[in-house]
Amino acid sequence: MLWTIIIILVILWLLGFFGGNISPRFPRTGNWIHTLIVIAIILIVLHLIGVV
């Protein structure tokens, strides 16, 4: 379950980061891109140390 959330966050981050290059009509996400990747990294670290 946790890995599913992490994968979804990373995919959303990638879409936000490269979305403007794929299609100019793709919405600008601003700081949400960085927020998503930080959340994904925190979840990965917590999972690796065994807290979650």
Distance, in Å, from the CA atom of 43 to the CA atom of 26, rounded to the nearest integer, reads 27
pLDDT of amino acid 26:
66
Q: pLDDT tens across 31-45, in order?
A: 677 777 788 888 888
Residue 52 in this model has a pLDDT that exceeds 70: no
- SS3 at position 28: coil
CA dihedral 38, 2, 46, 39 (to 10 degrees): 10
Regarding pTM above 0.85, the answer is no
Q: Find the helix or strand (DSSP H, E) in which 6 lies.
A: helix 2-22
